[in-house]
Amino acid sequence: MTNLHWPDAQQIQESWRSERWNGVQRPYTAEDVSRLRGSLHIEHTLAKTGAEKFSQLLKTERFIRALGAVTGSQALQMVQAGLKAIYVSGWQVAADTNLSGHTYPDLSLYPSNSVPQLVKRINQAFQRADQIQHASGQEGADWYVPIVADAEAGFGGPLNSFELMKSMIEAGAAAVHFEDQLASEKKCGHLGGKVLVPTRQFIRTLTAARLAADVMGVPTFLIARTDASGAKLLSNDADPRDLPYTTGERTPEGFYRIKSGLEAAISRGVSYAPYADIVWCETATPNLEEARRFAEGVHRAYPEKLLAYNCSPSFNWEKHLDSETIRGFQHELASMGYKFQFITLAGFHSLNHSMYELSKQYAEEGMSAYVRVQRKEFEAEKQGYSAVKHQTFVGTEYFDQVASVISGGTSSTSAMEGSTEAAQFQEQRGVAAEPPHAATPKRERERTE
């Protein structure tokens, strides 16, 4: 019988019987959730809608591709180009978009609210794009795609993870992943020196994150990542499940040395599966056989459990795989159950390379280098690219409409009327012909002349 103090507990319990929660265990009750919610239920529309869209994509898509975005504008380009989800990487936030303003390696050195802030920034970019599109009266992109965000190792204990998950939901994240490293020693998955927490301790982190989502009333997807394949240290040996992988050796810091490898990762993946929606094993190379063994290991215990795979830029892809294998790599993963596949640092690498390339050519050639970029933008317009008209892209016309409404339908200070963009770009069909060789970088001309 429902406790009268927690009248929505029965409704919460009923919701947990839906298909969405198949295979998910909660070591707490609906009464616990109701008691912790407070008297006023606050809606989190972006997070809820994103989670529902992510759930639908997992059902209808063979697999979901995503790239890591560094800025709101990058995320808009991803959606406009056809991607159906966005990834927000802690590594990228550490490197260039954290709230401290510093450049950091991926060691959890940045303020813990930095990733939620980038999630919020991306959702606000989506909101503006949607407002611009809606005000024009035209149908177009569904801008509010699901955002999958990196919660690192939780930046502390279970209470820190509880609060961080709440911040992610308030920012509008659809899915959040946590990893089983010791938060105070956290390293990028492709660095050395990783220290795992006991299996039982990480399950507490997952439980804290799930409880936070339940308290917020959002069906956020929870992704459990294990670094056991490459980690060589364990914070303590309190959990019997970890003992088969310990060596009996201790480090000067008091950590336990362990035998890392795929079997250790499978053991942890199986232990985490009941408490997570998706399981992810961080790997050192793009290895299909390794991916298959992990998938089979988890699926022997939990046949329907969804998996994620990091198609990392830390891998030298062509060193390990031939072009044909690379071409079919993600489809092979999908056949094993890896439904979410993402390139964590795509935003960082594409931003840096494209800017270096332009800067190098601009230093040598001047304006001809930039004109080539502009020409590429005009060509890309045919495929849906719209940022070449940068004033329109950021909402100048939208705010002209706002000003017009405020002024009763007329405004003498409209920004787009009389702008260079309106005069030069609206009917743009190309750029003036360049003199011979202008489109060829100086170094190439010197080699051919």
**Token output for 327:** 């071409």
Residue 408 has pLDDT above 90, yes or no: no
Catalytic residue from among 147, 173, 188, 203: 188
- Average pLDDT rounded to a whole number, residues 337-362: 96
pLDDT tens digit sequence for 133-144? 999 988 888 999
**Residue 407 vs residue 430, higher pLDDT:** 407
pLDDT on residue 433: 40
pLDDT tens digit sequence for 139-159? 888 999 999 999 999 999 999
Give the pLDDT band (50/70/90) at residue 430: very low
pLDDT on residue 102: 97
- Average pLDDT rounded to a whole number, residues 207-214: 98
Give the β-pairing of 175-179 and 86-88.
Answer: unpaired
pLDDT on residue 144: 98
Helices 288-301, 323-336: inter-axial angle, 10-degree rounding: 0
Percent of the chain with pLDDT over 90: 80
pLDDT tens digit sequence for 354-396? 999 999 999 999 999 999 999 999 999 999 999 888 888 888 8
- Other beta carbons within 10 angstroms of residue 277's beta carbon come to 26
Which residue shows structure tokens 């920004």? 415
For residue 363, what are the contacts with CB-CB under 8 A and spacing of at least 6? none
Question: 233 and 255 in contact (C-beta within 8 Å)?
Answer: yes
Give the β-pairing of 338-343 and 306-310.
Answer: parallel
Give the pLDDT band (50/70/90) at residue 212: very high
pLDDT on residue 415: 64
Give the pLDDT band (50/70/90) at residue 418: low
Question: 312 and 344 in contact (C-beta within 8 Å)?
Answer: yes
pLDDT on residue 389: 84
pLDDT on residue 426: 67
Average of per-residue pLDDT values in the chain: 91
pLDDT tens digit sequence for 46-103? 999 999 999 999 999 999 999 999 999 999 999 999 999 999 999 999 999 999 999 9
**Token output for 86:** 């966005």
pLDDT on residue 420: 65
Number of H helices and E strands in the chain, helices first, is 18, 12
Single-letter amino acid code for the residue at 160? N
- Other beta carbons within 10 angstroms of residue 194's beta carbon come to 24
| Nearest to 107, CA basis, from 195, 185, 177 | 185
Residue 406 has pLDDT above 60, yes or no: yes
- Average pLDDT rounded to a whole number, residues 183-206: 94
Say whether 188 is catalytic. yes
Residue 435 has pLDDT above 80, yes or no: no
pLDDT tens digit sequence for 296-313? 999 999 999 999 999 998
pLDDT on residue 305: 98
Give the pLDDT band (50/70/90) at residue 6: confident
Where helices occur in 97-157 by DSSP H, the ranges are: 114-135
